Structure 1
Amino acid sequence: MLELLAPAGSPEAVTAAVQAGADAVYLGFGDFNARRNAKNFTLEELTQAVSYCHVRGVKVYLTLNTLLTDRELPAAAETAAQAAQAGVDAVLIQDLGVLRMLRQAAPRLAVHGSTQLTVHSLEGVRRCAELGMTRVVLSRELSREAIEYICLRSPIEIEVFAHGALCMCYSGQCFFSSVIGGRSGNRGLCAQPCRLAYGWGRKADGHPLSLKDMSLAGHLQELRKLGVKCVKLEGRMKRPEYVSIVTGIYARAIHEDREPTAEELRQLEAAFSRQGFTDGYYLDQKGPEMFGVRQEGEDPRELFAQARTQYLSGERQRVDVTFYAMVRPGEPLQVGVQDGEGRTATAAGPVPEPARTKALDREAVEKQLSRTGGTPYRCEKVRALVEPGLSAPVAALNALRREVLEDLTRQRGTPAPTEVGAFHAGVRYENRREHPVLTCSLSRAEQLTRELCALGPALVSLPAAEAAAHPEAVELALSQGCRVGVTLPRVCWDREREALERDLEAVRSLGATDALVGTLDLMDAARSAGLTLRGDFGLHVFNAQALKALKHLGFASATASFELKLAQIRDLSKCIDLEVIVYGRLPLMLTENCIVKNHFGRCNCQEAPMLTDRKGERFPVVRAPGCRSEILNAKTLFLADKPEYRRAGAWAARLLFTTEDPQTCVRAAERYLGRGNWAPRDFTRGLYYRDVE
């Protein structure tokens, strides 16, 4: 049966989820999770929540799925150790450095890969398994065919989102909130810029980035047959009443092996929607009909009141137990109980007396012991040995039933001893003293000119498909003594992999030597082609432990997250070469939905149309591999006149060329080599000099 995983943004939401029928809940404890604005739990609240859930047979998963700095890792290690001792069943992570930390702080704690890892292919899942994860949450954009392909071959459990808000960008690859407003989605404080108004002309007169909430309420039986282990409900920022309603509807449908009824679907929409729901990604039917906005209006008071009454007024009986009783002459009355995991509790009462009128029989004992109303327990069977001619007070049987159930509750709610340890950052590596070399990543073959190569970049990279389609560009660069690499797509579904592998074979045969890899999903493809692995920004290097993880995976270099300040990059202990992006229009969103086609009705992203926000800022939209859209920053990152990046201990400073014409690429490279005084007309310093929340 599918596991139903419900959100719990508060202790009350835990009660709501459990009483509505959730099999597991996920919650935040401390400051290191992707919903830092939720009412995250104190240690006392966490301990109580875990005990409450475990008594009722419900698992608890801790969200530790944000990027952390080196200074934050010791506190996160303490958080993880406390959570492990409290008895949480697993922890969700995004940061590979956090994964390394967990192996020291809580080595026995199961780890699940968050959707923030952007795992969207079988290789990505297998990589997570090799790293020790027992489950991974797939990207929400995947179709049922893609999910099925992965499930049939996955060595670990697969979890998918089934209901709730959809991010416009692939989770883990969005930088819109941080670059524009300083609040990072990768740090748990997304400001949801996708819900704001944008337009394609001079006015922000639409909502082309606001997706409807997803709902797979009509596909639950199919998901089970595909091999999905767990379906997840989004909503840690939502009210407990919402959690109760949505969880209850999905729980009943799953446990009764059916789909929600028309009335239940109506209740889902009443609880929260954005002009209805969408299953477009699951059906592989993308388009403008997937978009909607929240309609202002009052909450459904009556529906919420019913939900609140339901989860506060009663106890859902969900834990099957077996009772045992023995009534023999001259011996104390014996009652025991056992749960499905083998825990037992026993108690003794008064010695039965000879019956004066009606003797106690087996049916009477079974009747009293099976009265478990008001408790989490459901009497599955009673095994009683009752010798004839004896009498015992009914009140004594009831008292013994309560006593053994209280003892069983204590056992079930007490966490098992677990191993915890201290986190040690390890040896520190000295920074490079020399200035970084210059590297260039390009988006189009026409940008790779003889003039640019003559400036001597240490590495020039083209998108894999672009390099394969323009061998003359690769040959030109090699003839000028440049080292050539390819940039791999951050998203490449399994159905797209064969074409990519052909491109990699072609560029390797031309003489390309390196591959910029942006997620865990394409490491093997690059390695099989004989290319040197270099980590791109999509891998989120935020701390020294992440660098060690990438070194262990075979990377020769990595790219520092551009959500770090330069001072933080300087302070990183660099066990492998580190690259810093110092120029270019930073990527803000990578979307499965082609927002250009949604508006214009045709693909014309080669023209880089501009998306306009409420302040008149204009964001280029370019094509990403797989006919996806990538939204770029309105302003160009520019640091050529700032010396600090040269003193950050990096191996390379990268110029990220996207919409630039060939001449601009050359002028920008010359400026970073100290020639001339060129600067872009409208530029930004990015996040390198300001704190990101």
Structure 2
Amino acid sequence: MEILSPAGSPEAVQAAVYAGADAVYLGYGPFNARRNARNFDQEELQQAIDLCHLYGVKVYLTLNTLASDREVAQAAQVAVEASSMGVDAILVQDMGLLQVVGQVAPDVHLHASTQMTIHNLDGVKRCADLGLTRAVLSRELSRKEISYICDHSPIEIETFVHGALCMCYSGQCFFSSVLGGRSGNRGLCAQPCRLSYGWNGKADRYPLSLKDMSLAGHLRELQDMGVACAKIEGRMKRPEYVWVVTKVYADALREGREPTAEEVAQLTAAFSRQGFTDGYFTGNQGAHMFGVREQQPEPRELFAAARAGYDKPTQLVPVTLHASIQAGQPACLTLTDEDGHTVTVTGPAPEQARTRALEGEDVAAQLSKTGGTPYRVAQHQVEVGEGLSLPRSALNALRREGVEQLSAARTALPQRRHFPYEPLPKVANPTDAPALHVTLRSASQCSPALLDSQPARIALPVDEAASHPDVVADIQAHGIQAAVVLPRICWDGGEMDTLKDQLTRCRDMGVTHALVGNLGLLDVARDLGFTLHGDYGLEVFNSHGVKAYRELGLASLTASFELKLAQIRDLSKTLPVELLAYGRLPLMITENCAMKAGAGQCCCGNGNTLTDRRGVGFPVMKAWGCRNEIFNSDTLFLADKAGDYLRAGVSALNLLFTTEDDHTVVDMVQRYQGVGNAAPASYTRGLYYRDVE
């Protein structure tokens, strides 16, 4: 199992390599999920790659953010440059960038970032179909889920084993962007989850701040499952942290054991939030998983040892040495490393010895003096003719040349194809007025007055639709398209079985349209005959993303609500594109129940509101699968901006109703139909008019 370490700076690269990492991940350019990390310029990246490859360490580039149409060409150039310099793989989140990188740099491996929210086997299989060679699973999965995926996965599986835990599923958090314009999907999360919040109008606790994860104690279990890579989080952390954490995990794994109590204490001293948690992995969730960063003195001795440690490598590259010194022939040295690189160098022919003749052991000892190099001689075979002499300086020169040539072979640039980026042809926007689509949270919101208003589509959560066939029948009887909304999160096993059962019941009612917000749920709906429509969870951010989902067979898409209206207008709409035009924007979907952790008991039906330090309340509602969903305090409202959204060229407006009663639903639908003057008491324009960093 590979130990993968974070590298937010050149110093952190050296710390990771010298501590025993098998691979590092780092950012280059503006398109990575830690844009505030030190990251690398071109010269630094090449030096980092050369150092890593010299020691047999792989380098993965993080290109795992969303890119707009104006940025795609630059992102493609970043991928080509990194591939040309020899990175071993590129991590991606954006479906459009995935397609583009596959075109411009087809020979470099692609990994699905955890930002893709891959959390079930169908999602992993979809990644394989798209040409990805590894998937980084969501941090929330239990050992049972990880094991099941590993047992059936056609590609490598990577899991986090240490570092910060986000409260929200990665790739589905909009808290930072909606509140402050700094998007976690664009690499600039402001971490509002680490601030104080509370219930009953008091922000007196930290219900969104989880302790850091540590799976120290589960390494052998992960390895036995077939996990290919154990990932350490921390590109914003200092090199000393990288060295300490990498060494603890690398030493334990290579020695076939778990970290000792002393090593766990080192992990805690390096960085923690009131200790660590393995609650997701063990399935033991609850209030004990939450914690905050406390002011602690720097562990001076530990970090001093770390600084001394990353001045010299702990793991040297084993080589096999073969030397032949024979009369009348040039001295010959062959070095072979564990990766199959072999170099042969020659020196002067030996002379007849005048005094003491060369012995094989003396030659082996001299040629094995590889101190100050990345190598150690693990095996040697030396053949020396009788009565011969060769100066020590000649043996040293032979060794130096052999080491230099082996290092050159190990750091040689790979032979890869690269192609210029080709922008997509522009597609004229539709000129028809957009249809009106309504997405309800509850069947109780579907009133006779709503049906009489005749929206083009009414969508219900799949569990609501399955349990309210009368409501579905009423929708269809009014000539309105009925659709179901699939959950963004659905684990394998019992959850997937439940979803299939609910979808089957809806299909038997005559429902044939499904809104899908995750790659891992395309197949379950399609296999049951549903027409697929991309929901906001797919985060369609550029024209290449539209094209990618069109090729996957979707019938329409919802544009990311992190785009401006002008950016949505400029999308090449090879599929009908919908606009989320009304509703409380989703901020988080969480596996750990903030409500239960705060109240000590399950309280989903109580209309819970999370309060921040300013007294602003955020509705928290139950999501499918007994999860939490946190929504914005203000309601997105665009009914008085028809001129703007009409210019965006969208095929439909989607009105998302959460906390509204049935009367408000009707009022808002009619307002978007041009009737009345209803408006929310407190509303926002969302991100449609302001740049998201």
Interval of TM-score (by shorter of Structure 1 and Structure 2): over 0.9
Match of 2:419, as an amino acid? G
- 1:454-493 equivalence runs, <5 A: 454-493=452-491
Query: In the alignment, which residue of structure 1 is the partner of 2:681?
Result: 681
Query: In the alignment, which residue of structure 1 is the partner of 2:130?
Result: 131
Aligned residues of 1:316 and 1:375 also touching (Cα < 8 A): no
d(CA) in 2 for partners of 1:315, 1:132? 35
Aligned residues of 2:29 and 2:39 also touching (Cα < 8 A): yes
Query: In the alignment, which residue of structure 2 is the partner of 1:654?
Result: 654
d(CA) in 2 for partners of 1:654, 1:218? 47
SS of the equivalent of 1:494 reads: coil
d(CA) in 2 for partners of 1:534, 1:122? 21
Which stretch of structure 1 is more off in the superposition, 243-252 or 595-604?
595-604
- 1:525-540 equivalence runs, <5 A: 525-540=524-539
Aligned residues of 2:319 and 2:338 also touching (Cα < 8 A): yes
Which stretch of structure 1 is more off in the superposition, 79-88 or 292-301?
292-301
Aligned residues of 2:31 and 2:64 also touching (Cα < 8 A): yes
1:552 aligns with 2:551: yes
Query: In the alignment, which residue of structure 1 is the partner of 2:516?
Result: 517
Query: In the alignment, which residue of structure 2 is the partner of 1:274?
Result: 273
Query: In the alignment, which residue of structure 1 is the partner of 2:445?
Result: 447
d(CA) in 2 for partners of 1:624, 1:34? 26
d(CA) in 1 for partners of 2:537, 2:177? 15
TM-score, normalised on structure 1? 0.99
Query: In the alignment, which residue of structure 2 is the partner of 1:174?
Result: 173
d(CA) in 2 for partners of 1:129, 1:60? 21
Query: In the alignment, which residue of structure 1 is the partner of 2:561?
Result: 562
d(CA) in 2 for partners of 1:114, 1:453? 42
* 1:403-445: CA deviation from partner (whole Å, max 9, x where unpaired): 1101111221121221111111222211011221100011100
Aligned residues of 2:115 and 2:170 also touching (Cα < 8 A): yes
Which stretch of structure 1 is more off in the superposition, 273-282 or 341-350?
341-350
d(CA) in 1 for partners of 2:430, 2:313? 62
SS of the equivalent of 1:19 reads: helix
Which stretch of structure 1 is more off in the superposition, 640-649 or 245-254?
640-649
Query: In the alignment, which residue of structure 1 is the partner of 2:355?
Result: 357
* 1:436-478: CA deviation from partner (whole Å, max 9, x where unpaired): 1100011100011221111111111001011111111101111
1:16 aligns with 2:15: yes
* 1:231-286: CA deviation from partner (whole Å, max 9, x where unpaired): 00000000000000000000000101100001000000000000000000000111
d(CA) in 1 for partners of 2:315, 2:511? 63
Aligned residues of 1:315 and 1:374 also touching (Cα < 8 A): no
TM-score, normalised on structure 2? 0.99
Which stretch of structure 1 is more off in the superposition, 444-453 or 617-626?
444-453
- 1:239-254 equivalence runs, <5 A: 239-254=238-253
SS of the equivalent of 2:641 reads: coil
d(CA) in 2 for partners of 1:179, 1:526? 30
RMSD of the alignment, in Å? 0.9
1:633 aligns with 2:640: no
d(CA) in 2 for partners of 1:324, 1:303? 41
Alpha-carbon offset, residue 370 of structure 1: 1.8
Query: In the alignment, which residue of structure 2 is the partner of 1:691?
Result: 691
SS of the equivalent of 1:403 reads: helix
Aligned residues of 2:441 and 2:460 also touching (Cα < 8 A): yes
SS of the equivalent of 1:32 reads: coil
- 1:32-181 equivalence runs, <5 A: 32-181=31-180
Query: In the alignment, which residue of structure 2 is the partner of 1:388?
Result: 386
Query: In the alignment, which residue of structure 2 is the partner of 1:326?
Result: 324
- 1:197-212 equivalence runs, <5 A: 197-212=196-211
Match of 1:396, as an amino acid? A
Question: Percent identity of the aligned residues?
Answer: 58
Query: In the alignment, which residue of structure 1 is the partner of 2:212?
Result: 213
d(CA) in 1 for partners of 2:135, 2:345? 44
Aligned residues of 1:548 and 1:575 also touching (Cα < 8 A): yes
Match of 2:333, as an amino acid? V
d(CA) in 2 for partners of 1:110, 1:231? 18
SS of the equivalent of 1:62 reads: strand
SS of the equivalent of 2:426 reads: coil
* 1:203-227: CA deviation from partner (whole Å, max 9, x where unpaired): 2110000000000011000000111
Aligned residues of 2:7 and 2:13 also touching (Cα < 8 A): yes
Query: In the alignment, which residue of structure 2 is the partner of 1:378?
Result: 376
Alpha-carbon offset, residue 317 of structure 1: 4.2
Query: In the alignment, which residue of structure 1 is the partner of 2:366?
Result: 368
SS of the equivalent of 1:282 reads: helix
d(CA) in 1 for partners of 2:347, 2:226? 49
Query: In the alignment, which residue of structure 1 is the partner of 2:606?
Result: 607
d(CA) in 1 for partners of 2:388, 2:161? 57
1:404 to 402, 405, 417: 402
d(CA) in 1 for partners of 2:517, 2:464? 17
Structure 1: gaps spanning 5 or more residues: none
Aligned residues of 1:317 and 1:378 also touching (Cα < 8 A): no
d(CA) in 1 for partners of 2:396, 2:536? 64
d(CA) in 2 for partners of 1:511, 1:285? 40
- 1:240-319 equivalence runs, <5 A: 240-312=239-311, 314-319=312-317
SS of the equivalent of 2:281 reads: coil
Match of 2:530, as an amino acid? L
Structure 1 runs, 4 residues or longer, greater than 6 Å off: none
d(CA) in 1 for partners of 2:215, 2:14? 24
Aligned residues of 2:211 and 2:290 also touching (Cα < 8 A): yes
Query: In the alignment, which residue of structure 2 is the partner of 1:235?
Result: 234
Aligned residues of 2:19 and 2:313 also touching (Cα < 8 A): no
* 1:373-423: CA deviation from partner (whole Å, max 9, x where unpaired): 221112121122111111112232122111110111122112122111111
Which stretch of structure 1 is more off in the superposition, 396-405 or 565-574?
396-405
* 1:558-596: CA deviation from partner (whole Å, max 9, x where unpaired): 000000000100010000011100000000000001111
Structure 2: gaps spanning 5 or more residues: none
Structure 1 residues 395, 315: CA separation in 2 closer, same or farther (over 3 Å shift)?
farther
d(CA) in 2 for partners of 1:648, 1:573? 11
Aligned residues of 1:445 and 1:467 also touching (Cα < 8 A): yes
Which stretch of structure 1 is more off in the superposition, 357-366 or 231-240?
357-366
SS of the equivalent of 1:426 reads: coil
SS of the equivalent of 1:223 reads: helix
SS of the equivalent of 1:347 reads: strand
d(CA) in 1 for partners of 2:575, 2:345? 62
* 1:165-184: CA deviation from partner (whole Å, max 9, x where unpaired): 00000000000000000000
Aligned residues of 1:317 and 1:373 also touching (Cα < 8 A): no
SS of the equivalent of 1:649 reads: coil
Alpha-carbon offset, residue 511 of structure 1: 1.5
SS of the equivalent of 1:71 reads: helix
SS of the equivalent of 2:472 reads: helix
d(CA) in 1 for partners of 2:486, 2:116? 16
d(CA) in 1 for partners of 2:447, 2:505? 21
Alpha-carbon offset, residue 367 of structure 1: 1.2
Query: In the alignment, which residue of structure 1 is the partner of 2:593?
Result: 594
Alpha-carbon offset, residue 109 of structure 1: 1.0
d(CA) in 1 for partners of 2:684, 2:245? 43
Alpha-carbon offset, residue 350 of structure 1: 2.7
Match of 1:46, as an amino acid? L
d(CA) in 1 for partners of 2:308, 2:670? 69
Match of 1:665, as an amino acid? V
Match of 1:161, as an amino acid? F
Query: In the alignment, which residue of structure 2 is the partner of 1:420?
Result: 418
SS of the equivalent of 2:566 reads: helix
Alpha-carbon offset, residue 608 of structure 1: 2.1
Which stretch of structure 1 is more off in the superposition, 371-380 or 502-511?
371-380
d(CA) in 1 for partners of 2:125, 2:324? 53
Match of 1:590, as an amino acid? I
